[in-house]
Amino acid sequence: MARKGRDTLKLFFQRGALPSADHFGDFIDSTVNQVDDGFKKTAEHGLEISSLGTFDSLISFFRENR
């Protein structure tokens, strides 16, 4: 399924539209998925970006509030 831009996706789901299964698939494939795309956010590690292979965390971003 193809990834689509926001303006295109909005057309599929506007009032009165009847989105198809393909439209829902395009919507899902156009978003970031924490599991599939290697993103994780926790209080302990902040925002982590992981490789899609068998490696651990690639980089972490977090802000320490003092």
- pTM for the model: 0.61
Integer Cα distance of 61 and 41 in angstroms:
9
Instruction: Annotate the chain with three-state secondary structure.
Output: CCCCCHHHHHHHCCCCCCCCHHHHHHHHHCCCCCCCCCEEEECCCEEEEECCCCCCEEEEECCCCC
CA distances from 51 to 16, 34, 48 (A): 41, 12, 10
Residues 7-39 have pLDDT tens digits of 999 999 999 999 999 999 999 999 988 888 888
Judge if 55 and 38 occupy the same domain: yes
Judge if 66 and 38 occupy the same domain: yes
**Number of domains the chain contains:** 2
Structural domain that includes position 39: 33-66
Judge if 37 and 16 occupy the same domain: no
